[in-house]
Amino acid sequence: MARRSPVRGARDVSPRAIVPDRSLTPEENLPTMAIRSAGNHTFVFRKMVEGPVGAAAPNHGDLVRVVDRDGKALGHALYNGRSQIALRFLSRGPEPPDAAFWARRIDAAASLRQSLLGLDEATDAYRAIHAEGDGLSGLIVDRFADVLSVEVFSLGMYQRIGPILGLCAERLGTSHYRVNVDDRVAAQEDFSGRPLASPKLPPRVTIHEHGIRYRIHFEEGHKTGFFCDQRDNRRELARFCAGRSVLDLCCYTGGFGLNALIRGKAREVTCVDLDEKAVALARENGNANQVRLDAVHADAFGYMRQMAANSRNYGVIVLDPPKLIPDREEIAPGKRKYFDLNVLAMKLVEPGGILVTCSCSGLLPAADFLGILRAASRTAGRPAQLLAVTGASADHPVAIDTPEGAYLKVAWLRVGEPAES
């Protein structure tokens, strides 16, 4: 099972040379859109939009002035009437966002990572802009050494990505970029969103995180190419691994497994993933750090069942599956998959061992995830102690009025003796 694998379709995925460069300077007479009720959330869904006020109707992607049904000014947002999220607020002030506004937002995001968090001391790979968490809804920017790897979730952001990249590169000192729009997002936002790449973008880079080297292959990676959100959790895993056998399930490129082996001094590490290219990259990352990972190309469900049949167990298991609930229609089957995976994993943990189990599904609240783990513990016949619940690293800030940004849940469990039959 590959972690957070993208949906593949018939959309043209060849990189585009011409970068959309819509100006960050607002037009003189902005269109006005009225909504049914005021709120503090960044998103305004299409069913809450009353419609344009006055003769000037906005085009999709336009910056618009937003008012309530009584005409009270609420702020400014990017508009896309073809999307379920019709409006994405950028600001709540009376003045429309201009180029200086965008520069201030990007500067504030960079300052958080570099000055407050001091990430440059620990890594050259981190999330530079985290959408709503940094006040730029629909935009994800990861910095990987000299490359900005971008995901766009909004038509308005895509139209302006050229000058946005210019501001990011100027602030962060990078030379290259790549821009990706997931097929699912392109369908939801109803625009082509072809990938973009700088002319001399290297096909791969090597990054460093807490003393460990990772290779990023952009054409073969998922999302932006590397999962910075688990940085702190990878570091913390090491404290539990000394002398133990570690199983890293849905390992992607082996981040948890490498930390267990190199920093945690694990006795042995097995990394498992359904994505054959990810398994090959996990081995490559092991070689880059002069260690040997046992990397296995297999489905997590089948592999765990086989290990149970072999009476195999592990001192530490990491279970970091892909996004099993991509939309609301998948909530029930996704919960069942989380339950089944955790039942199998709990049965493989040595008594007193550690299970680090994750969910990156934003539609699964933390309370519901813990409820699934309680049910899995009972079904597996393995009592468990909850040591901690953590989330994404601090370079993934969450806007207080947009709690969906807290998508990652990581439960740290100490698993007890099997229940007597």
Query: With 80 as the cut, is the pLDDT of residue 8 above it?
Result: no
Higher pLDDT, 349 or 38: 349
Average pLDDT over residues 400-412: 93
Rg over alpha carbons for the chain, rounded to the nearest Å, is: 23
Helix (H) or strand (E) holding 339: helix 331-348
Laid out side by side, the sheet with 43-45 consists of: 43-45, 85-91, 73-79, 63-68, 32-35, 49-53
Q: Which residues contact 297 (CB under 8 A, 6 or more apart)?
A: 273, 274, 276, 279
Residue with structure tokens 């939309």? Answer: 327
Under 8 Å between Cβ of 232 and 263: no
pTM of the entire predicted model:
0.90
Domains and CATH numbers, the chain: 32-91 (2.30.130.10), 99-204 (3.30.750.80), 227-415 (3.40.50.150)
Average pLDDT over residues 93-114: 96
pLDDT in tens, 151-204: 999 999 999 999 999 999 999 999 999 999 888 888 888 888 889 999 999 999
How many Å apart are CA 206 and CA 288, to the nearest integer? 9
Burial letters 330-359, b for 16+ CB under 10 A, else e:
ebeebbebbbebbbbbbbbbeeebbbbbbb
Query: Which pLDDT score, from 0 to 100, does residue 5 have?
Result: 36
Compute the mean pLDDT over every residue in the chain, rounded to the nearest whole number: 92
3-state secondary structure of 212: strand
Query: With 60 as the cut, is the pLDDT of residue 372 above it?
Result: yes
pLDDT in tens, 117-156: 999 999 999 999 999 999 999 999 999 999 999 999 999 9
Which two structure tokens, joined as six digits, stand for 306?
Answer: 């086989």
pLDDT band for position 115 (50/70/90)? very high
In sequence order, what are the beta bridge partners of 35?
49, 68
Query: With 50 as the cut, is the pLDDT of residue 4 above it?
Result: no
Query: Which pLDDT score, from 0 to 100, does residue 229 have?
Result: 95
Least confident of 285-289, 322-326, 417-421: 417-421
Which two structure tokens, joined as six digits, stand for 359?
Answer: 């969910």
Which two structure tokens, joined as six digits, stand for 73?
Answer: 């000014």
Region for 150 from its dihedrals, namely left if φ exceeds 0, alpha if ψ lies in -120 to 50, beta otherwise: beta
pLDDT in tens, 310-341: 999 999 999 999 999 988 899 999 999 999 99
